[in-house]
Structure 1
Amino acid sequence: MDSDTILRLVREVPDHDGFPLVDDLHARFDALAAAHPDRVTVTRIGTSRLGEPLHSYRIGTGSHAAVIVGGVHPNEPIGSWTALHLAETMLGDDAEATALDVTWHIVPTIDPDGMRLNEAWFHDPYDRVFYSRHFYRPAPDSQVEWTFPNNHKSVYFDQVLPETLAFMRLIDDTEPELLVSLHNGEMGGVYYYLSEDLPDVIDVLHAVPRALGLPLDTGEPESPHLRELAPAVFAMDGVEEVHDYLEGLGVDPAEHIHGASSAAWALRHGALCMVAELPYWSHPDADDQTPTDESYADLLRRCADDLGGSGAELQRVLDAASPMLTIETPFLQGSRAFIPMLTATPETDRARAEREPADRMATVAERFGCEDLVRCFRLRYGGMLLRALEAETTAGTASAPLRRLRDDLAERYALWQAGAVTDAAPIPVGTLVGVQYGAILACASHVADPARASRPAMVATQRSGGA
């Protein structure tokens, strides 16, 4: 499939109002299977922690296997529509399906339990304040994406979740040539992770958002250790590189690294792995390379102080509330994991700042990225802690001191909400799906290219942890 065809297809992706709820998403896939019994094979691959069946939908009979998994982080539902659109397209146009010569194994959501805890904002994903107030993200050791086995130097992890085991089983059974776990971010522009340095694929990854009017995110990368293959395209490095980077900063890697990723497991089978990270809201500063009058080192220190201060405020509330909490909700479990991270992360940023040249000025994009990360984490994890306290007030188990703590936190949270960026532009859901869909087609076209067998792979990373 050539790039012109891919760009035409992404422009044809329909728009949507919000995101499908879990039951609706499953019903839509089941309806596809019922309508095409000779072309869709449904396989149960496991069971969620709360007892929900996990299914993979096999579509096509191509000679190249691709695994596409949604809901790896349950607060990232753009992939729900992407998975459904991919399934519908491959079932609806024989010419396109035949051109790719791919057998698709699609999991609509691998963490339905976690996704249900975000459903309150799915009908209106454009309001960041409302989104954050009803936000849920599992603690790191409860995230499907980051609970694959890992054994590297000081880090050992084998607390594999049932959902992760199902994911592992699917990868091992299909031995895919392509793995795409469907992620998204929040604010800024589009960026990607790719396990191989593939100029032909990267050209399309750049062309797709440009064709849809979205900027690339060329500001502060998601993690400081990332290697850039091209603007807004990063090598999908594993925990080995993260470990060595943190060790070089004098930071204990065991405090920051736990399980490995789905890509680490799929690379054992030689898969090309790709992630397209998409924002709900765009902002012109995300792609502005104009230098500011603040050094990059000072920017890191300033934002580290802001983030650490916010983390300390939340930690004081959590510490005061903990003896009075009687309901062990996922919101409380997440708060106990993430709030200490807010106070620990600044240590790494301050160590980074010491290594930056004093005369290296931060760009507008870097400033926006660093500052918005502080806003994002305040809103996310302040909202989750509020949900944990409200579980008690709603159930009628909250003591008077706990109710006062809840009110105090709500007042502080309202100030953080007032500080949210107000000039960000919400992006149509169909446009976001188009970027993700186009990225999948670009990678699928690459793995299905007959000429690929005669070309050596340009490997961006090799992961050994996770055996």
Structure 2
Amino acid sequence: MWRCALPPLPRYPTVDELGARAAALVARHPRDARLRRVGTSRAGTPLWLLSVGHGSRQALVVAGPHANEPVGGATVLRLAERALADPRLCEGADATWNLLLCLDPDGARRNEAWLSGPYTLGNYFRHFFRPGFLEQPEWLPEGADGATLPETRALLDLQDELRPFLQCSLHGVDVGGAFLELTRELPGIAQRVARTANRLGIPRELGPYDTLYWPTLGPAVYRIPPPRRGDLAAAITEAAVESTWFHPHPYGTVTAVVEAPMWGVAAVEDPTPPADADAALRTVSHTLRDDTRLLEEILARVRPLLGCSPDVARLLAPVDDYLLVGPGLADSWDPDLRQGGTRPLPPLTVARLTALRLAGRRVALRTAGLLHQLVTASGHDPRGVLPELDRLIDEWCADYRDGCGARWIPVARQVEYQARVVLAVFDLAERDARVRSRSGETGWGSPAAVPMHRE
């Protein structure tokens, strides 16, 4: 049986702990593991790549693309241990595992106030941080040539250097269930996801808000559509712009986005039809609209007092993003406002309606948490909004907990689920690459398999 040389963390690792544990692993395995700096964040933090094995075929795993989703850091450490312990994952597959410890270390540091616990919804949302859409390093709203964030440029350069046959982007779902997104179908993966989730007691999300209009490849497995041009709101809600998920596509790369939940909700895997879908949609949309209006009023009262420092601007950017998309989402879900030309919603189930309810509440809670931080950091509250924000956060977290049945999933189980899904994707992608290679298609990720330029 495989044993972890380093004891698994009972909590999420910080940015510094990730680097220290990776360095300790390399010190124990100097022949088979390497650690190198592949870039620097905007605040000067090194971007570390841990590589295991010496195979010619490259697998790239990216942790921490979203600052508030820390599970991926612990997962890449687990994957490194397993790749070192199991010859089938390196020599047997002629593969090298390239594990980017954290793509957004600056944002991750802003979440460290809640990383060590207590793991309550209120503590999480009061200390939540995720940068504005234009500062999230996986997105390419101006295309790869227009990417300016140093974290984004480091990832693009790494993709062009490695030309991986597989890329995994490790994400977390704060409240909901597990699901998987792929740029290319891998037959058999839905069954493996189901087995892993069932064994670990992780709910699968059968209709995530993120994939509302995406093709379904199997239960809780979705096909990422090719990028297209759109406005900012569409990009935030439909991943409509270019991204680092598709950047290595010309190399034959298949990208998998592996989502693991922090708080699980059983209803997200209920496929039954709802008793009254329209009534449920009205409730969800009206709630989001009302919550957005409340938060807009609070922001209007405090914004003139916040100043214009870089720290304030960084916190305000996601607030403005969420308040921008909230009303549009509410209108798009409201059966009384949807017009004939509006894109029709997919068939509604209890799972999908629950996902929409969770998504609407998430927009409001994230906004309230960021506003709470802004006012708290200012050191004074002349408008008296902190008690109001505390009340709203408590009420909305109680709705998650009591109304939706949100239950904490221990960190070790989140990590084990995500690691097992990555290994399953690796196995199937490696088989797929062999088949494509024999048929003359690209897909091995080797320089000889792809043209040396991009269109």
Using the size of structure 1 for normalisation, the TM-score is 0.84
Taking every aligned residue pair, what percent have the same amino acid on both sides?
A: 29
Unaligned runs of 5+ in 2: 444-453
1:238 is aligned to 2:252: no
Which residue of 21, 24, 39 maps to 2:17?
Answer: 24
* C-alpha distance in 2 between matches for 1:436 and 1:412: 32
Equivalence for 2:275: 293
* C-alpha distance in 1 between matches for 2:408 and 2:66: 21
Equivalence for 1:385: 371
Distance 1:455 1:434, change over 3 A: farther
- What RMSD in Å do the two structures reach over aligned CA positions? 3.3
Which residue of 133, 146, 159 maps to 1:140?
Answer: 133
Equivalence for 1:463: none
CA shift, 1:142, in A, is 0.6
Q: CA offsets, 1:360-386, max 9 Å, x none? A: 984322232222222222222211111
* C-alpha distance in 1 between matches for 2:91 and 2:4: 21
CA shift, 1:258, in A, is 7.3
Q: For residues 12-411 of structure 1, what are the structure 2 equivalents within 5 Å?
A: 16-124=9-117, 126-147=119-140, 149-150=142-143, 158-240=146-228, 243=230, 253=234, 259-295=241-277, 297-326=278-307, 327-329=309-311, 330-350=314-334, 353-354=338-339, 362-393=348-379, 398=380, 400-401=382-383, 404-411=384-391
* C-alpha distance in 2 between matches for 1:11 and 1:209: 21
Contact persistence 1:133–1:384 (CA under 8 A): yes
Which residue identity lines up with residue 324 of structure 2 in the other structure? P
* C-alpha distance in 1 between matches for 2:181 and 2:236: 24
CA shift, 1:434, in A, is 2.0
* C-alpha distance in 2 between matches for 1:166 and 1:107: 10
Contact persistence 1:147–1:258 (CA under 8 A): no
Contact persistence 1:146–1:258 (CA under 8 A): no
Contact persistence 2:133–2:236 (CA under 8 A): no
Unaligned runs of 5+ in 1: 1-7, 152-156, 460-465
Contact persistence 1:102–1:448 (CA under 8 A): no
Contact persistence 1:117–1:136 (CA under 8 A): yes
More deviation, 323-332/448-457 = 448-457
CA shift, 1:253, in A, is 4.7
Contact persistence 1:190–1:277 (CA under 8 A): yes
Q: CA offsets, 1:270-318, max 9 Å, x none? A: 20110111111222212112332212x4433331221122112111111
CA shift, 1:23, in A, is 0.7
Contact persistence 2:59–2:165 (CA under 8 A): yes
Distance 1:198 1:270, change over 3 A: same
More deviation, 360-369/55-64 = 360-369
Greater RCO (Cα-Cα under 8 Å, separation 6 or more)? 1
CA shift, 1:410, in A, is 3.0
Q: CA offsets, 1:152-204, max 9 Å, x none? A: xxxxx935311000000100011111001111112232211011122133332
* C-alpha distance in 2 between matches for 1:252 and 1:52: 30
Which residue identity lines up with residue 124 of structure 2 in the other structure? Y
Equivalence for 1:428: 410
Corresponding residue pairs, total:
435
Using the size of structure 2 for normalisation, the TM-score is 0.86
Which residue of 387, 392, 412 maps to 1:412?
Answer: 392
* C-alpha distance in 1 between matches for 2:108 and 2:136: 11
Contact persistence 1:79–1:433 (CA under 8 A): yes
* C-alpha distance in 2 between matches for 1:276 and 1:357: 27
Q: CA offsets, 1:115-168, max 9 Å, x none? A: 0111111112631221111111110001112236439xxxxx935311000000
More deviation, 189-198/8-17 = 8-17
